[in-house]
Amino acid sequence: MSTASTKPIPHRTASDGVLRHRPTVVRPRKRMRRMSTSAVGRSPRAQLRQPLPHSLEALDLSSNSPTQSLASLRFLVLSYLADLEARLADYESPDLMSLGGATLEEMREWASTALDKLESIRQDVSAALPEFHLSESLAARLPDMTMPTLGGLPDFPSLDDVRNHLPDSDDLSQRLRSKLDDVRAALGDIDISQPSSFLPTLPHRIQDLQTHLSEMQRRAGIPAPSAMLYDLLDALRSSEVVCTLIRMAEEEEERVEDMVESAAREVRKAVKRSLEGMRLIQYSELPEGWRNNPFVTHGYRFIPLERWHLIVLSLFAFHNETLNIHTHLIPALLWGINSIPFLHGNLPDLPERIFMSFALLCLFSSAVWHTMSGCAHFASMEFCARIDYVGIGWLISASVGTVVYYGFQDPQYFGIRNSFLSLCFLTGLAGNIFPFMQWFNEYKYRGYRILFFLTLAFSSLAPLAVLTQLYSFGAMMSFVRPIVPSLLSYVAGLVFYATHLPERWLSPKWSQRLDCIGGGSHCIWHLFIVLAVSQHRGAIGQLKQGIEGLRL
């Protein structure tokens, strides 16, 4: 139990200027608990009052944003780790060896373990806590924050030292509580998923590192970390912030689970309406993930994956994907059979074989997607949609590749040809990667999908520009003239695909009739793609002649 004593101290009043005495209460300061180990061999100047390190003086711990509050913790921890790492880097210095009498091998093993623990904490802190945005006062001091040598490195200040330099704060714990209140007041500003799981473990990990350091601290005289850091960790651990973060994370998890459950209920309702895949349903009855074209309102299949035989049989039934399937499946089968080697005496050139292989891949993957679009299993349906995009990407790259191959037939330009063929491969590879990004298949990003495939096609401008430079613009145009009809077919089909014509202009009566077989814009687009593939294949025979009639 503390006692208080009074003693008069002289002071001069403002009214009469007479020196008088007034009683002043002198209260002994409470002793604060220290989590750190005692530092044996502290230098004498550690006992004197010394300025706070710039890292603590310039750090603004009062903030209305929880992001800045947690960033303050991040800054303190990373500052401590940086200082400690610099000390450990001198584990072979004569000063450190002479202080504790430890052997070099002991110091190496001890320092290596400490550095591993330190780096693990630093990586997790950097990943879990928000980054600290430097204030102007802190940025102005950064040039002075150099790391001195071990012999001239001052010890970390004790908690009493910190308190002596905080005249406006009666109690550090009160200041910390205010800090944590700021966190609680605006928790909506931060991403709670990582701090909520990481914060409870941080004090234990700091303590584990300090326990390891204490093995050599008494022998080597290495000082303990800042008491303010430990006090902040202690206050944070004992406050309601961690519990609040965890509770909010649980609420977010429950919200996601509710969304998943809601989506599952929609799927169950749609399956029930479709009589387990036996009848067609309307667009309004589809779950959100299955809605691709709001202008096609009738004729949708919704077949559970376990009834896969109904999905296969739907190839021979009427619904809004019937023509979309067969406008690509039938040409793929006919061209595939026609490409069997033993049915023909003469094999086409390698570029033509590669082009037709990717064309068949595009057509077949499209037929599979439109067949699986009626599957009630979302993952399977979406995977087939993304495979369809992959086929489109390779068809575009192969089309450009034939122009490159035959445009640079002169042996002196083989290096250029190989470079552009590599570019074609990279564009095809991009067509493999982007479709599997989460956003790519969403309807709201439909315009970006179209722009992506147009970008792949526009990659052909680079080799055409080089051909113009090597020969002439007229010679280049004469060379590519055979493929112009196929380009026009692609563009015409793309216009129907992008505008949803004609179904967006049809009356509900005619739209419902068209939906019975799938005779909308997508079917028209398919027909133009088949026409373009056929035209490009025929143009390859003229591309073989090379530019300006050059052919090897």
Residue 517, domain extent: 275-549
Query: Do residues 246 and 295 share a domain?
Result: no
As annotated, the binding site includes: 370, 522, 526
Query: Do residues 365 and 323 share a domain?
Result: yes
- pLDDT, residue 112, reads 78
Query: Do residues 445 and 540 share a domain?
Result: yes
| Residue 20 in domain | no
| Residue 410 in domain | yes
Q: For the chain, what is the domain count?
A: 2
| Residue 12 in domain | no
- Residue 83, CA distances (Å) to 226, 401, 504 in order: 11, 57, 67
- pLDDT, residue 215, reads 64
As annotated, the binding site for Zn(2+) includes: 370, 522, 526
What are the tens digits of pLDDT across the range 362-394?
Answer: 999 999 999 999 999 999 999 999 999 999 999
- pLDDT, residue 142, reads 44
DSSP states of 181-241: HHHHHTGGGS--TTHHHHGGGHHHHHHHHHHHHHHHHHHH-PPPPPHHHHHHHHHHHHSSH
| Residue 8 in domain | no
Query: Do residues 386 and 325 share a domain?
Result: yes
- pLDDT, residue 212, reads 73
| Residue 139 in domain | yes
- pLDDT, residue 474, reads 93
| Residue 297 in domain | yes
Q: Please identify, among 218, 251, 284, the residue that sits at the C-terminal boundary of a domain.
A: 251
| Residue 197 in domain | yes
Query: Do residues 445 and 331 share a domain?
Result: yes
Query: Do residues 533 and 386 share a domain?
Result: yes
Beta pairing class for 19-26 and 5-12: antiparallel
| Residue 544 in domain | yes
What are the tens digits of pLDDT across the range 435-478?
Answer: 999 999 988 899 999 999 999 999 999 999 999 999 999 999 99
Examine residue 502 and say whether the peptide bond preceding it is cis (omega within 30 degrees of 0).
yes
Query: Do residues 69 and 207 share a domain?
Result: yes
Q: Report the interhelical angle of 461-470 vs 378-407 (nearest 10°).
A: 0
CA gap 202, 197 in Å, rounded: 10
Q: Please identify, among 197, 219, 251, the residue that sits at the C-terminal boundary of a domain.
A: 251
Query: Do residues 336 and 442 share a domain?
Result: yes
Task: Give every residue of the chain whose pLDDT is below 50, as ranges.
Answer: 2-7, 9, 11-19, 21, 23-65, 99, 134-135, 137-139, 141-160, 162-163, 165-170, 172-173, 176, 183, 186-190, 221, 551-552
CATH number at residue 312: 1.20.1070
Query: Do residues 240 and 299 share a domain?
Result: no
**pTM attached to this predicted model:** 0.61
Query: Do residues 240 and 319 share a domain?
Result: no
Secondary structure element (H or E) that encloses residue 295, with its range: none
Can you tell me whether residue 12 is helix, strand or coil? strand
Query: Do residues 187 and 286 share a domain?
Result: no
Strand partners, 21: 10
CA gap 513, 532 in Å, rounded: 28
- pLDDT, residue 35, reads 43
Query: Do residues 194 and 311 share a domain?
Result: no
